[in-house]
Structure formats: structure tokens, C-alpha cells
Structure 1
Amino acid sequence: MKDVKFAITDIETTGGGIKGNKITEICVLVVQNGEVIDEYHSLVNPGTEIPLYIETLTNINDAMLSDAPKFTEIAHEIEEITKDCVFVAHNVNFDYNIIKAEFENLDKTFQRKRLCTVRLTKKLIPGLFSYSLGNICTSINISHYDRHRAKGDCEATVTLFQRCLALDPEYEVLNSLLNQRTAASYLPPNFKNSDFEKLPTSTGVYFFKDKDGIPIYIGKAKNIKSRIKSHFQEKSNQKYKLMQATYSIDYELTGSELLALLRESTLILKYFPKFNKAQKKVNRPYTLTSYHNQKGIEQFVIHKNKVSPVSWMKFYTREEAINFLEFICTEFELCPRYCGLQTGVEHCSHYKIKSCSGMCKGEIDATGYNQRVARAIEYIQEYENSCLLVEKGRSKEEKSFIYLKKGRYAGYGYVENSEDFRPEQFEDYLIPQENSSYSDRIINRYLNTKKQLNRLNLDREEEVEELETEVCFEAMAS
């Protein structure tokens, strides 16, 4: 380790995260055996104007850069001075990824082993109030001249690195950081690797939190640990800002992916996290209704804005509505022409449904056809019943349930497989929830696309309810 070279680097940029950010100044100081053995420093013409707030912060202006070399002119020198070195920086992913992007713009590859002095300092000098370069230098009495300029910040980082080496004479911490095979190299600078390793691989919702413990991003995942790692590896400007603001990550297991979607929606509405995109406004739904036409045939129709005397179901995309109509048309042997699936034709010629009842050809009378429609409506009305949707639990020993009150989301709960649970007892386990247009949409999409449901109806007669209970809770125990 004594012979290893460390290319301690700092850059100034045009600002705005990682993507599209251009270098305006770069400094590289190569350290070996604790001493600086090589140096490179230059202003860089970014080919774009410097924003006023960046000029105010760094005192670098357009006039200073007009005669400076462009990155393409100094790329070879950067490549050479960092060659065979460990790339070191304070918050290394920022400097490294911007330099890497500059090389990629030239169709060149830049790949170096990385070391972050934020992580190194946290390991060797724990308990500081802040680990920004300026605050560390103030806390442990390091001279820091020309702040927010590449050479001044780079020189301060070298001194900090030398202090850390003195606290790690056997290079134990240094080696552990360089040889990690986990997501540690992608972790936010304020987030502990040990906390990442504790994250579950189960389904649920997760919370990125700021230094005050306030949620700043909420998401859902089938595998929480894997999804969070993918956040760390994304290089968009928004994700970079999120990583910089993240100090801790919390989670809530749900077991069920459907319940994870519902909890995510509820929690976003509760906390309005700053890094979540605002939930899209749910458009006025498509409504499935029916009426008797002039021939006395009960006919289905989908509309979006009309007021109708009956409303059987709601859909939030036309595709969902059409798919459902095609299903009931096939399942109950109906006629596509009288299900709103074909217009302007005398006889059905649907591209998908070949089992037309023959109503359009007069092969069945209106009374017989309407009986089929009545069975379809009876099936549809099941969706508006109060029921429990039985889903996976957080472990093999339990199941979750989602309570729909008259077809609307009203809560959830968990029950152990071993418990002698009856549907009429569900309120003892229920965690009540407020319904919203978002949860409405989630439930509707689930019911309309799920081919098999573990569903316990709560609006049926007792004998039927007992039969349904027996069947579904055998499924729960399996």
C-alpha cells in the first residue's frame, strides 16, 4: 500500500448535477507514501456560459475561460497523470462521473479505482457535525484557502487524506474501502454501508430521509434492497441531488405488491416528499353502463363524460375498459356489436372474438340474449361488493388482506395462518385507510387485470359466505 499512488482530484463545474455538467477548472495532486509527487492544474473552457450563481460561488467567469483550453485539449494529460492511480476525491462519485462523462463525449473510456474521503473520514474521525470539506477542515484545524476553487479544495483534501493515513497506519480502513464488493462505492456520502447491508430483500415501501429524518423520497419495490441499490447506481441529475440529501433509509414491509402500491400512494399524499414527482392527476374515468336499445336488447357502452342512469364499473384507461369488455363478451357469449366493441357493421367481424352469440344475425332472441347480459351484470356487481382481497403476508406464517368497502379501498391488515380467523372478524385486524382517486385506480387496475383472485365477499348470504370462506382460507394456508 505504501507504493500505491493516489490521484487526489477536485473540479469546478458549470453546476447542475452530473448530466450535462461541464468542467471549468481541474486540479490533480498525486500522493505516494504520504507525499505529493506530481501536480496538474488548469482552467477549462466549458463551451457554455457560466451561470451567475456559479460565478458568485467560485469567482470563475466567462472572461477568465475564454482563452482556457477545452477538455479535449487536456484530456491526454488528465489520462496520464491519473493512470495507475487510485482516484480520490471528497464525494468521489461527483468528480469521477463528470470526468468520465467528459471522456465519453470524446468516445474515450475513463476507468479508475475510486476512494471517497468523505467515507474515509467518517470511518477514521467519527462524530463530526458535518462532513463537508469546509466543515471538516474547520473541525480538525486544516488550512483551507481558496474555497470552491479546484486547487484550494484539492490541497485541503490532500491534507485531510494525509491526516487519515496517520490514523490508519496499517491501512486497515483504507483497504476495506478499496476492496469492498458491495454497493458501497455507489452509496450516498452520508449513508452507512452497514445500514445498506441490513436492508431486506422483501416487498414493501421504502423512505429516503434527510438529516432531520423527514421523508424526501418514497418508493415501492418487490425487492427493497435491490431497488435501492439501483437508485444509487443511476446517474441522473435528480438522483444525484437525492443521494446528496439522503442521510438514512427506512422501510415498511407489506408482503403484497398490491398493498405496496397502495401504501406508496397513501404515504406520498401524506408526506409530499420533495423528490417524488407529483402524483399525476387522475383523469375522469371511463364508465361502463348499459341500456335497452330500440330492439329491446340490453346493450353495453363505455363513455367518459355522459351522465347515465346506471354505472356498472369505472376504468382509468380506454385499454383497460376494452380488455374487460372483450373478457365478458367471451365469458358470457355476448355479441361484440352490442358490447361497444364494434360500430358501423351489420354483423360482427371482431379481430379477436370469434364466438359471437349471433344476436347481430338474429340467431338468438332478445330475451335469451338479455339473460346472458344479466349474468354478466351479476358478475360485474361482484366488484362493488364489500370484500377482502387475500394477499401474501410479510412472512410465510401470515397473509395480508385488503378491505374494499362497496368496492372502494378502506384499509388493510395481517392475520397469521394459524389463527382461527373468520371474515366477520376482520375489523379486529383492520388498519383503516382513506380512499383516494389514486387508490381507486390501483384497485380498479388490479381487479380488471388479475386473472385469479383470493376474494372473500362480505355482502353475501351466510351459507354462501361460509363456502367462500372455506375455499379462500384453504388457499391462505397453502
Structure 2
Amino acid sequence: MEDVKFAITDIETTGGGIKGNKITEICIIVVQNEKVIEEYDSLVNPNTEIPLYIETLTGINDQMLVDAPQFSEIAADIDRITKDCIFVAHNVNFDYHILRGEFNNLNLTFDRKRLCTVRLAKKLIPGLFSYSLGNICTSINIPHVDRHRARGDCEATVTLFQRCVDLDNNDEVLTNLLNQRTAASYLPPHFKDSDFEKLPTSTGVYFFKDKEGIPLYIGKAKNIKSRIKSHFQAKSNSKYKLMQATYSIDYELTGSELLALLRESELILKFFPKFNKAQKKVTRPYTLTSYHNQKGIEQFVIHKNKISPVSWMKFYTREEAVKFMEELCIKFDLCPKYCGLQRGVSQCSHYKIKSCSGVCEDEIDNSTYNQRVSKAIDYINEYENSCLLVENGRTKEEKSFIYLNKGRYAGYGFITETDDFENTAQFKDYLVPQKNSSYAERIVNRYLNSKKNLVKLDLKQVEEEPAEEEQQLQEWFG
């Protein structure tokens, strides 16, 4: 590319990822029309101690940096040298973001167009076992002295860059990489552009995998491609390390966000990926129970630690429990005082529920009130029935279902209009059985308590009412 200037750069740092990492040495070699037109290198005092492993790797120690300039003293030189240049480095995002961070610390901006020699080499010298700077120099006989020092690595990168330019007929690959306006410009160094373009925009789970295909990170998304792009653009240390270790990305479509949440939880427990933070420990749930008090009134109680002979429902936050009980009070005209919503009052005075059955003021007899409680318990028991939760499928012609066996997650499946599914007894032919867990219970309970338009096929009910079953099955596909 005639007259274009390329500022080929290498930095050494204190280590520790992108954020909080400080520069200890920098080298910049400016190339124009395949000739070196300017060079700059300097040690940099980071005002912090050099970790032993970095000293062992680079040979740079604290004593060497005592009299070195601080970054603030050389920032103007770096800005001038790289101005109007394409910023080039081997694994460019690392060098660029650390350098940009140093400028940000001085309340200065550093904005340059970038080019990565890893990606350039993969395009023009395909099929190498490794594209690390050391290995690629060995593979194609590039002299590489003073490894892990800024000058030595920068000179090797210059030679690699010039080799690639010589192989690039009409600058086609170079122009392509410089003109990218998609997530490809943020791709991990070992990840192919074409693989990113193939990612779906549908709901499901995705896997970042290492060289051996072992999952490093598992996540879920409504839009897999968009979510993965956001990982590429993240600037945290952990995300940077994940990108460096990623060689491929796989995915599994679910259609349903509920199923994506469940699959994500199952797969994390199965593989324990290195970069997934441990699933939050699910605390002991709140339990909804009931008992006959001294007045003979059937009273609901929400508790966390007590052992009780009757347990109607579980909630994983008190807010969920309170919200459900408030809805139950309104639906069955119950008393907040006797539903675990108020304590230490003689008559209920709930801030939200203005109507009350009157049992707390002896306006109705206990027997009448307990009949209402009995109906509320029957309603609660519906949550514990075996059922299928019907959700969107992976295509418009498909539906997904979540199987709850006596209220507990037991698997999932997919069914289309053309499948031989004439009665609910056949759903097990399409079932992918799964083990329940405390994480799955929490996901399902939150779904049941928050979903307004719930499509739920009660397996017990349809066995007793075949006509109702047929109608519900027809409603699956609208």
C-alpha cells in the first residue's frame, strides 16, 4: 500500500491482563513503502514492582527501571510517532488497549486504526501449527533475537509483516482487514472470521472452546451472535484471557429462553468451565407451610429454617414469596394476617391488600374461611402437578416443551406439527431426560411465578378429560 505508514509496535508490561497492566518497555518501528523510516524504543518506569515471573520472562527488573522515564514523559513522543499511522502489532488488541489505557490515565485520547499480524499471517500463511510470534518465526525462518523484549519482538514483527505484504497480491487481504466494520475486527486471534458469520441470531446456549474442544465458557442468549460479539468487545482482564484461549465457538439452539437458562445451568454443572464463575450458591429456600392455629384457623406461614410436616411451595427470595401470597390473598379473599404477610397485629392493615375476608375481626366463621384456604391449597397444588410447559421452538414450525415431573424439572423436547403426537402419553418419545438441581428449581419457580401468559399442559388433567387434552394439543400450534 503506497505511502501508507504502519507503526509496528511491541510493548512489555507488568503482566496481569489488560486492566491495571503497566508498560515497562516499548518499541515502535514505522514502515512506509516497505522501508523503515523511524524507530523509537524506551524502557518505562511503571511506578510499581515487577512480578518475579515477569522478570524471569523478560529479564526486566526493578533496578533497570529506576532511572527510566515514566509514561507521562514519553506520551507526546509516542503520539507524534504513531500519528497518521496504522497501528500494527502481533495480537494487536493487547498492545493497543494497554497503550490506550496509559493515555487515558493522563486524560488523553489515543485512537488509531489497527492491524493484527496474527490475523494477517493466518490469511496469507495458512496451515501453521501455531501463530504465536516465537513459533511462527521458527516455522518460516524469521530471525528472532531477544525474545520477550520490546526491540527483539518488534523487529521480528516487522519482518513478519513485510513477508505477509510480499505475499498479498494487490494488497487485497490487507485492505480487507483494514476495512472491516464488523465484530471480526475484535475476534480472538485463533478464531476464524467465517465461523463468526455462521453464528445464528436465535436463542440458545453457546460454548467458547479451547484447542482440544473443551468448553472454557458457557453462556445463554436470546441472540447468540450479538451476545458473542459483546464478549469480543469487552475489555476486562478475564474476557481478554478467555479470548486468547478460545479456538472455536459452538452453540445449541433452544428457541425458548427458559430452556436456554436450564441448559446453561445443566451444562455448567456438567463441564465446570474454567471461565464461568461458580454458579451462585443457592441459599436455603423459603418454604410456604400451613397449620391450624389456636383459634382453629388454617394459617399460612413463610419460613426459612423451620422444619414442618407440610410444605406447599418453595421460594428462593422472600420477595417472590410475598408477591405470590399477596396474589393468593386477592384471588381467594384471604386475610393478610393469616397469610404470613403481617405480624403482631390484631386486625390486618396491609398496605396493598385493602379487602379482607373479615376473619381477623370475626366477621365470618372459621369454617367458611378454612374452605377458602382449602381452595387456595388446591390452586397451589397445581404447581406441583406433572405438566408440560410449552414454549417457542427452534423454528416457526416447532414447539419446545419443558417436562415437570411432580413440579420438578425432568427434561425437555421439541415437537412439530408433522410429528406423531396425538396424546400426551407420547411426549416421552420426544423427551430428552435431565436431572433436576437446585439451580433448575429456582429457574422454573421464577418462571412459574412471573409468567403471565403461561402455556401449561397439565398431564393429570388431560388423562381425566381427553376432550380437553385434544383442544389443548391443537392450541400448541395455534
User: In which range does the TM-score fall when normalised by the shorter chain?
Assistant: over 0.9
What is the DSSP-based 3-state SS (H/G/I as helix, E as strand, rest coil) of the residue aligned with 1:135?
helix
In structure 2, the partner of 1:438 is 439
- State yes or no: 1:227 paired with 2:223: no
- State yes or no: 1:264 paired with 2:264: yes
Question: Given that residues 383 and 407 in structure 1 are in contact (C-alpha distance below 8 angstroms), is that contact kept between their aligned partners in structure 2?
Answer: yes
- State yes or no: 1:212 paired with 2:212: yes
| C-alpha RMSD of the superposition | 1.1
Q: Distance in 2 between matches of 1:178 and 1:268?
A: 37
Shifted more, 172-181 versus 440-449: the winner is 440-449
Shifted more, 234-243 versus 329-338: the winner is 329-338
Compared CA separation, residues 149 and 461, structure 1 to 2 (3 A):
closer
Q: Distance in 2 between matches of 1:335 and 1:445?
A: 24
Compared CA separation, residues 175 and 150, structure 1 to 2 (3 A):
same
In structure 2, the partner of 1:273 is 273
1:263-319 C-alpha deviation (Å, 9 max, x unpaired): 111111111111111112211111100011111111100111111111000111111
Question: Given that residues 204 and 222 in structure 1 are in contact (C-alpha distance below 8 angstroms), is that contact kept between their aligned partners in structure 2?
Answer: yes
Compared CA separation, residues 368 and 465, structure 1 to 2 (3 A):
farther
Quote the offset at 1:354 in angstroms: 1.4
Structure 2 alignment gaps of length 5 or more: none
In structure 2, the partner of 1:2 is 2
User: So what's the TM-score if we normalise by structure 2?
Assistant: 0.98
In structure 2, the partner of 1:394 is 394
Compared CA separation, residues 238 and 398, structure 1 to 2 (3 A):
same
In structure 2, the partner of 1:65 is 65
- The 5 A counterparts of 1:248-263 are 248-263=248-263
Quote the offset at 1:356 in angstroms: 1.8
Q: Distance in 2 between matches of 1:265 and 1:412?
A: 14
1:131-181 C-alpha deviation (Å, 9 max, x unpaired): 000000000000001000001000000000000010013100000000011
Letter in 2 for 1:48: T
- State yes or no: 1:458 paired with 2:459: yes
In structure 1, the partner of 2:314 is 314
Structure 1 alignment gaps of length 5 or more: none
Letter in 1 for 2:202: S
In structure 1, the partner of 2:424 is 423
Letter in 1 for 2:40: Y
Quote the offset at 1:437 in angstroms: 1.2
In structure 1, the partner of 2:129 is 129
Q: Distance in 2 between matches of 1:144 and 1:429?
A: 59
Quote the offset at 1:466 in angstroms: 3.7
Quote the offset at 1:247 in angstroms: 0.2
What is the DSSP-based 3-state SS (H/G/I as helix, E as strand, rest coil) of the residue aligned with 1:57?
helix
Runs of 4+ in 1 over 6 A off after TM superposition: none
Q: Distance in 1 between matches of 2:4 and 2:462?
A: 78
Letter in 1 for 2:73: E
Aligned residue pairs: how many?
A: 477
Question: Given that residues 128 and 136 in structure 1 are in contact (C-alpha distance below 8 angstroms), is that contact kept between their aligned partners in structure 2?
Answer: yes
- The 5 A counterparts of 1:77-116 are 77-116=77-116
Quote the offset at 1:419 in angstroms: 3.5
Letter in 1 for 2:393: G
Q: Distance in 2 between matches of 1:338 and 1:267?
A: 42
- The 5 A counterparts of 1:116-155 are 116-155=116-155
In structure 2, the partner of 1:385 is 385
What is the DSSP-based 3-state SS (H/G/I as helix, E as strand, rest coil) of the residue aligned with 2:141?
coil
1:63-112 C-alpha deviation (Å, 9 max, x unpaired): 00011111111111110000000000000000000001111111111100
Quote the offset at 1:473 in angstroms: 3.0
Letter in 1 for 2:210: D
Quote the offset at 1:461 in angstroms: 6.1
In structure 2, the partner of 1:244 is 244
What is the DSSP-based 3-state SS (H/G/I as helix, E as strand, rest coil) of the residue aligned with 2:346?
coil
Question: Given that residues 455 and 472 in structure 1 are in contact (C-alpha distance below 8 angstroms), is that contact kept between their aligned partners in structure 2?
Answer: no
Question: Given that residues 402 and 409 in structure 1 are in contact (C-alpha distance below 8 angstroms), is that contact kept between their aligned partners in structure 2?
Answer: yes
In structure 1, the partner of 2:11 is 11
Q: Distance in 1 between matches of 2:352 and 2:475?
A: 33
Question: Given that residues 454 and 475 in structure 1 are in contact (C-alpha distance below 8 angstroms), is that contact kept between their aligned partners in structure 2?
Answer: no
Letter in 1 for 2:370: N
In structure 2, the partner of 1:157 is 157
Q: Distance in 1 between matches of 2:388 and 2:193?
A: 40
Q: Distance in 1 between matches of 2:137 and 2:58?
A: 18
Shifted more, 424-433 versus 361-370: the winner is 361-370
Question: Given that residues 45 and 67 in structure 1 are in contact (C-alpha distance below 8 angstroms), is that contact kept between their aligned partners in structure 2?
Answer: yes
What is the DSSP-based 3-state SS (H/G/I as helix, E as strand, rest coil) of the residue aligned with 2:465?
helix
Quote the offset at 1:420 in angstroms: 4.9
Identical-pair percentage = 77
Q: Distance in 2 between matches of 1:470 and 1:288?
A: 34
Q: Distance in 2 between matches of 1:360 and 1:16?
A: 64
Q: Distance in 2 between matches of 1:306 and 1:299?
A: 16
